[in-house]
Structure 1
Amino acid sequence: MSVEIVSKHHQAQGAFDFGRIRENKPIGFPHEKGGATSMSNLFYWAHAWSDTGGLIDTHPHQGFEIMSYVISGQLSHYDTKFDRWLGLNQGDAQVIRAGNGISHAEKVLPGGEFFQIWFDPNLSKSLKKEATYSDIKSMEFPVVDMSNGKSKTIIGEGSPMEIDTEGISVLDISEIKSGQWSMSLQKDAVYSIYVLKGEGKYNQGAIAQDDFMIVKNEDNIDIQFDSEARLFVIKSPANVSYTTYAESQGAFA
């Protein structure tokens, strides 16, 4: 059994547009200090926000599948395939299947906050495909009631978002009331959990907003929350059927 908690202060930090866009990274790039390293086929995870608004200028991607999820406010996205700006509002998501190459840019409007998460498909296949992307509105994602909270499926059963990366599911779990929250897990999976809101305790360990939990080889998780909470949960397979990018580069132990 394994549970690791990485606080915001121990995550990697970043910035764009002369500091107008700030980031903390629960999973950073290999050269960055802080946070966790790539796990399974979950390669990178950044939590970004801007009080004033800012621009991440045009830059290229290949191979990886890149999901942006709007936590609050608005984003605007440009890519070289469609050559136009498109808007994303709170609760909307986008996935770029970068394939054999695409360039894009992002504007974060004032007060905007989002996740950008990179998934690692089988690059020997994805690099041979044409790049594609999908924008999906918040109302299109299925939402179900839990015993404590509501679970919105971003990737997984019933979601219109499709990716090639195997074994991934993504949940936005909101409206968790103070008290006990629990969820059944699969022991053959790795769960990466970002605390978007709330404070509480897991066993004897305290957790707080912007903390990051890595849960392995557990069949259940129980958290005692002291306040209303919101969690963003990614499940990835403990064992991947192909060689991941990190494995091919020998980047991680």
Structure 2
Amino acid sequence: MNTTVHTTTVAHPRSVERLVAGQATSDGAGVKLTRVLTQNLQRRLDPFLMLDAFGSDQPDDYIAGFPDHPHRGFETITYMIAGRMRHRDSAGHEGLLENGGVQWMTAGRGVIHSEIPQQEDGVMEGFQLWLNLPARDKMMAPWYRDFKAADLPKLTTEQGVAVTVIAGDSHGVGGAVTRETTAPLYLDIHLPAGSRFEQVVPASHNAFVYVYRGEVSIAGQTVPVQRMALLANSPEADGVVIEASADAKVLLIAGQPLGEPIAQYGPFVMNTQQEIYQALSDMRDGRFGE
């Protein structure tokens, strides 16, 4: 589904507060990745907890994948740009995530899952975003859904900017997923040379842009490839304007902060240390996935 839309006008665009370079690391069974949103930014970018970017054409960088591991208290959104990944979890869900597809998983009270590449060569590239759950929902039942690329809402502006609406709303096109409390906006935006894209974002939301191809300009600030532009919060700001002098691809992510305590121990994100101890106890006693 691809809709051509008229450009929304942003009267008071946000500026760039600062640029952030991701940290090279590895996770799972040695998968090499870049941690773009790190733990020290969780308060500033509440309700988002983490953003990882992974991409390589060297199988040794990704082939072992992410064997069985637990989660509790938040949601994971995995967006594949290239490659194929098999998901299985303790709630009985299974799916194959392919080029351009999204996997949205609510860990809730606890799930054990694996994400294993289904390829032996070629490029595997994508992103995983962690979205916090409000305290009242942290122990909800796990939920999972796969979206194929063709199922994701898309739009094209008059200037030829192509947008995939993973969550939220853009130019009147509703995303694949909505969440009432955190109200996440998650857009993949492909800007042709010489184009600009305007997106309304509530002043109360925390927001950032991650450039994964080319470079863009936001309020006069150049944002180069593999950099995150943390967008300034301002009471009069009504959105963001992104301009590209050459072809570029970016993620625009925003959400309503929860303003709740964050207690994290690896794959468990709760509100208190006591809840972390309980998660560890439940995991040890085999109560995840019940």
TM bucket, shorter chain: 0.7 to 0.9
User: Which residue pairs with 2:141 in the alignment?
Assistant: 130
Q: Does 1:74 align with 2:73?
A: no
TM-score with structure 2 length normalisation? 0.73
Alignment partner, residue 254 of structure 2: 235
Which residue is 1:179 aligned to? 194
Matches within 5 A, 1:15-30: 15-16=26-27, 19=30, 21-30=31-40
Q: Is the 8 A contact 1:78 1:106 kept in 2?
A: yes
Q: Size of the alignment, in residue pairs? A: 237
| Aligned pair partner of 1:58 in 43, 63, 68 | 68
Runs of 4+ aligned residues of structure 1 deviating over 4 Å after TM superposition are 162-165, 246-250
Q: Which residue of 1 aligns with 2:267?
A: none
Asked whether 1:91 is paired with 2:100, we answer yes
| Matched position secondary structure for 1:166 | coil
- CA deviation after TM superposition for structure 1 residue 37, in Å: 3.7
Report the alpha carbon displacement of residue 83 of structure 1 after superposing the two structures with TM.
6.5
Deviation, structure 1 residue 17: 5.8
* Superposition RMSD in Å: 2.6
Q: Which has the larger radius of gyration?
A: 2
TM-score, normalised to structure 1's length? 0.82
Query: 2:207 touches 2:255 (CA, 8 Å); kept in 1?
Result: yes
Q: Which structure ranks higher in relative contact order (CA pairs < 8 Å, sequence separation ≥ 6)?
A: 2
Q: Distance in 2 between matches of 1:144 and 1:132?
A: 27
Of residues 42, 48, 55, the one that matches 2:48 is 42
Question: In the aligned structure 2, how far is the partner of 1:17 from the partner of 1:154?
Answer: 25
Counterpart in the other structure of 1:225: 244
Structure with greater strand percent: 1
Separation in 2, partners of 1:230, 1:177:
9
Q: 1:125 to 1:147 in 2, by over 3 A?
A: same
In 2, Cα distance between the equivalents of 1:107 and 1:22?
A: 14
| CA contact 1:5–1:211 (8 Å) conserved in 2 | no
Q: What is the Cα deviation at residue 200 of structure 1?
A: 3.6
Q: What is the CA–CA distance in structure 2 between the aligned matches of 1:156 and 1:83, rounded to whole Å?
A: 24
SS, match of residue 54 in structure 1: coil
Over 3 Å counting, the alpha-carbon distance change for 1:165 and 1:210 in structure 2 is farther
SS at match of 2:39: coil
Q: Which amino acid aligns with 2:208?
A: S
Shift of 1:193: 0.9
Gaps of 5+ in 2: 1-13, 264-269, 274-290
Q: Partners of 1:231 and 1:41 in 2: how far apart?
A: 20
Q: Could you tell me how far apart the structure 2 residues matched to 1:64 and 1:164 are? A: 15
Equivalent residue for 1:106, pick from 108, 115, 121: 115
Call closer, same or farther: CA 1:6–1:98 in 2, change over 3 Å: same
| Matching residue of 1:213 | 229
Cα displacement (A) at 1:49: 2.5
Task: Give 1:131 shift.
Answer: 1.1
Would you say 1:154 and 2:166 are equivalent positions? yes
The answer on whether the counterparts of 1:68 and 1:114 sit within 8 Å (CA) in structure 2 is: yes
Is the partner of 2:136 in helix, strand or coil? Answer: helix
Q: How does 1:116-127 map to 2 (within 5 A)?
A: 116-127=128-139
| TM-aligned CA deviation for residue 170 of structure 1 | 1.0
2 CA distance for matches of 1:18 and 1:112? Answer: 15
Displacement of 1:232 in angstroms is: 0.9
